[in-house]
Amino acid sequence: MSGGKFRSGGRDKCRLHMVTWNVATAEPPEDVRSLLHLDVQPPTDLYVIGLQEVNAAPVRFISDLMVEDSWSHVFMDTLAPRGFVKVTSVRMQGLLLLIFAKQIHLPFIRDIETTYTRTGIFGYWGNKGGVSLRFSFYGHMVCFLNCHLAAHMNYALQRVDEFEYILDTQDFDTDDTRHVQDHKVVFWFGDLNFRIADHGLHFLRSSINSGRMNLLWSKDQLTMMKKKEPFLQEFEEGPLNFKPTYKFDRNSDTYDTSGKKRKPAWTDRILWRIKPQSPPAEEEDDRASTSTDNGQDEYPIQVIQDKYTSDMSYGVSDHKPVIATFSLELRKCFDTTLVHVSPEGVWSADQDAVLNYTVQEDFMSSTWDWIGLYKVGFKSPSDYETFVWVREAELPELNEVIQVSLDKEDIPLLGGQYVLGYYSANMQSIVGLSANFQILESKRAVMEGLVPEKNLNGLNK
């Protein structure tokens, strides 16, 4: 699957890195690299980043709808040079959810769909609620749900009610995964706002300072609510061995010294749920479980949490970001792309170019599908240099080789490493990628003074 993949008992293993962070309307820091653990081995395959309280002032929010917001930009600028592409995102006022994947995985991420639910101010205002993003990953349906629930100590029951309402009201177009809980794996995360009950401020701080977080676990409201609510018991969470991530003085690692002196709490959480079997599956350990969809699915998937921690080095917000990393062990339902696409011959801006594509499996293709020319290191499916429609009137037959020409005026003069991607309008995703290939520098580039004549790879001789 990637450099981060290895075989495990007949399954492929994919590395998932998740971040949740209430950014308290702050602008992003210049450097988010330590947040993403970029140099971890084996390397990451998927990044999921959920933010809360992104600046949603009316003028700012409208501008963000027209162009990418500043948080999306900083993550794309950091991850694109590492070969990660933003698959898609969903935004509801201050809630933002971003998914990035290694380029090699893009054709195997299908059936992408997003939705959102407002719970703030009688359900009409989106300052609280949940945004979700679901897709099929090598044939396994997964869903990511980023929530910001009601604040304050006394609203634990309301937080549970809001989460249940989000689960009940969110629905998708695919019949067998109509609801969030129908997916094989659900990741629930965000500023869930659960607090630590009963303990006084002095006891809380002394327990934290002495590293005895376990003294606080029994009074964590989410932990207590899980004992009462069966639907919450289906969600798993790693041990809270990191310091509570709320509330800090900004640009410091000191808990709230303002007049309010908010009690520290684990408001920021990452949990996951495996779709239960019937009869219930036996868990391999307290951090891993397997789904086989009532015994009818021959492709089990396993989720193992590798790390659950926070990053205290970031101070732009009064919350600290929380990070969880997982190993997803799965048997791929398929390993063939829906469309094979490749360049034909030598490409340069001195002549029209030709590409071939072949539909290898039936899918809901459309005359609105297109093939984009991407520079290696592209940031998202819309980050193309140019594109061509696949067919204006009719769709190709299965396994029929189709040739499409690209006008030389649309080919980059300076050349470089590029890749072709077939974008499906119905599936909202790239379903075929060529191998990386070289576009040669053009004679026109020298004539226009863009490159020295000696860099022309012999084309001007």
CA dist., res. 40 & res. 268, Å (int): 23
Position 66 scores a pLDDT of 58
Q: Which amino acid is at 321?
A: P
Kind of pairing between the strands at 7-8 and 288-291: unpaired
DSSP 186: E
Position 443 scores a pLDDT of 86
Question: What tokens were used for 337?
Answer: 């792309």
- Omega before 279 within 30 of 0, i.e. cis: yes
Position 62 scores a pLDDT of 60
CA dist., res. 70 & res. 76, Å (int): 10
Position 121 scores a pLDDT of 65
Q: What is the CA radius of gyration of the chain?
A: 24
Position 189 scores a pLDDT of 98
- Chain-centroid distance of CA 327 in Å reads 15
Question: What tokens were used for 223?
Answer: 């932990």
CA dist., res. 344 & res. 353, Å (int): 7
Measured between alpha carbons, how far apart are the two ends of the chain, in Å? 42
CA dist., res. 296 & res. 263, Å (int): 48
CB atoms within 10 A of CB 4: 18
Choose among 79, 117, 125, 122: nearest CA to 98: 79
Please report the DSSP string for 45-105 in residue order.
SEEEEEEES----HHHHHHHHHS--HHHHHHHHHHGGGTEEEEEEEEETTEEEEEEEEGGG
Position 283 scores a pLDDT of 46
DSSP 3: T
CB 429 within 8 A of CB 423: yes
- Omega before 128 within 30 of 0, i.e. cis: no
Query: Is the torsion defined by CA of 73, 55, 23, 144 positive or negative?
Result: negative
CB 341 within 8 A of CB 434: yes
Choose among 71, 107, 108, 105: nearest CA to 89: 71
- Tell me the domains of the chain and their CATH numbers: 7-330 (3.60.10.10), 339-455 (2.60.40.2840)
CB atoms within 10 A of CB 131: 27
Q: Which amino acid is at 1?
A: M
The single residue listed with the structure tokens 């500023």 is 191
Spell out the per-residue pLDDT of the chain, length 461, in tens.
444 444 444 689 999 999 999 999 999 999 999 999 999 999 999 999 999 999 987 666 565 555 689 999 999 999 999 999 999 999 999 999 999 999 999 999 999 999 999 997 655 555 899 999 999 999 999 999 999 999 999 999 999 999 999 999 999 998 889 999 999 999 999 999 999 999 999 999 999 999 999 999 999 999 999 999 999 999 999 999 999 999 999 999 999 999 988 999 999 999 999 998 765 444 444 445 544 444 444 446 899 999 999 999 999 999 999 999 999 999 999 999 999 999 999 999 999 999 999 999 999 889 899 999 999 999 999 999 999 999 767 778 899 999 999 999 999 999 999 999 999 999 899 999 999 999 999 987 777 766 665 554 544 43
Position 269 scores a pLDDT of 98
Q: Which amino acid is at 332?
A: K
Position 65 scores a pLDDT of 57
